[in-house]
Amino acid sequence: MSTTITSTDNMPKTIRLTNGKEFTIVSNAAMTEKSIPIIDVSRMHSPELAARQALAEEIRNAAHSIGFFCITNHGINPKLASDVMEQAREFFALPEDKKMEVSSDLIPDEYCGYHGMQRYNPNGWKYRDLYEAFNWNYNPAKDPDYPDLSTPQINLWPKDMSEFEEKLSAYQTEMIRFARQLTRIFALALHVREDFYDEHVKRPEAGLRILHYPQQEACRDEQNGIGAHTDVEFFTIITSDAEGLEVLSKSGRWIKVKPIPGCFVVNIADCFMRQTNDFFVSTVHRVINESGRERYSLPFFWGIDRRTLLSPVPTCVSDDNPNKYPIMTAGEYYLWRTRRQKRSWLIGENANQTTKE
């Protein structure tokens, strides 16, 4: 028998996301009997193509069946993430007026800067979502493989925090290097050339976000940490310091994801789902912090160059399985989603069936 978190509301709910899709939630409880796949990715560095292909098949199965998996032996120094978490605690402890000096509202068409606590209610719960966040974008000058000093970054950095940008950027740089290698494995998983995406990730989407979730006192039927959503880009790599992440299964039931020390959680995002013609699954997820402590998380959002057309991968379309989506550039899709999401934040309290990424 599965273990669940007590819920008083088990009536099915249909939610509409800002990507236009609808999902039905059968129960608001969360079960721990099921879990997401755990994959050892050390083989991504193997000189043997057969070893890399074997890893790619495991990732292919996870990306198709649930869209979430945990990766072990990734080789990223854990101190880089812990340094970011330390900076996150310092930043979120600042007075509200100081954090609002870098408010996301200052750059309407980008995800960067500060998102305030309990400002949004995309799922229409009784109380607003219980989180605050800081986002920062890709900086071409600090790309580990293709540095470009001529293109300015689009970011908002707080004043009087001398190590903030340095520590956050150090982690970002290492994750960019890792994500490029993982993208090659994803190409093999789609049964195309290993270098299929190489040209399209020289100027990638590579934004990050630090999130702070206070311990939640309201029940899960009245409040989310962050509401049910899907991500925008290709894939997301997440690290966190406490449980709280929940993934919606195909049966419409929530699965609790327990963090494994030293490991990352990877999930497919909407641009990748579109390019694979829904073969890869961009799965709805949320956070509810019932851990008994404050929770901090650090998602890294990876995607292709904004100038790239989101044309379907050749192995994912056929006469019997035609492309399901209009073709646009990644940048056009990113802008469309950003504007829709920010509008949904403004009207979320009055739109019970609208959700945010």
Tens-place pLDDT, residues 280-313: 999 999 999 998 899 999 999 999 999 999 999 9
- Which pLDDT band, with edges at 50, 70 and 90, does 350 fall under? very low
For residue 153, being part of any structural domain is answered with yes
For residue 7, being part of any structural domain is answered with no
pLDDT in tens, 167-203: 999 999 999 999 999 999 999 999 999 999 999 999 9
**Which pLDDT belongs to residue 145?**
96
Q: What is the largest CA-CA distance in the chain?
A: 59
- Which pLDDT band, with edges at 50, 70 and 90, does 10 fall under? low
Is the pLDDT assigned to residue 58 strictly greater than 80? yes
Q: How many domains does the chain have?
A: 1
Is the pLDDT assigned to residue 204 strictly greater than 80? yes
For residue 355, being part of any structural domain is answered with no
The encoded tokens of residue 96 equal 């509200």
> Which of these, 187, 153, 168, 157, lies nearest to 280 by C-alpha position?
187
**Which pLDDT belongs to residue 238?**
96
Helix and strand totals (H; E) in the chain: 6, 15
Region 77-89 average pLDDT: 96
Region 10-31 average pLDDT: 76
**Which pLDDT belongs to residue 59?**
98
Region 325-344 average pLDDT: 83
Q: Which residue has the higher pLDDT, 352 or 225?
A: 225
pLDDT in tens, 108-127: 878 899 999 988 777 778 89
**Which pLDDT belongs to residue 11?**
62
CATH number of the structural domain spanning residue 307: 2.60.120.330
Determine how many CB atoms are found less than 10 A away from the CB of residue 35: 14
For residues 77 and 69, what is the distance between their CA atoms, to the nearest angstrom? 20
**Which pLDDT belongs to residue 344?**
58
For residue 134, being part of any structural domain is answered with yes
For residue 3, being part of any structural domain is answered with no
For residue 316, being part of any structural domain is answered with yes
Region 33-37 average pLDDT: 80
- Which pLDDT band, with edges at 50, 70 and 90, does 343 fall under? low
For residue 6, being part of any structural domain is answered with no
Classify burial at 4, counting beta carbons within 10 Å of its beta carbon; exposed 0-12, middle 13-18, buried 19 or more: middle
**Which pLDDT belongs to residue 103?**
94
**Which pLDDT belongs to residue 345?**
54
For residue 330, being part of any structural domain is answered with yes
In angstroms, what CA-CA distances link 145 with 107, 305, 340?
A: 28, 15, 33
Asked whether 142 and 171 are in contact (CB, 8 A), the reply is: no
Region 126-155 average pLDDT: 94
**Which pLDDT belongs to residue 4?**
33
pLDDT in tens, 234-267: 999 999 988 999 999 888 889 999 888 889 999 9
Is the pLDDT assigned to residue 208 strictly greater than 50? yes
What is the overall mean pLDDT for the chain? 89
**Which pLDDT belongs to residue 163?**
96
Containing domain of residue 250, as a range? 13-350
Is the pLDDT assigned to residue 338 strictly greater than 70? yes
**Which pLDDT belongs to residue 30?**
85
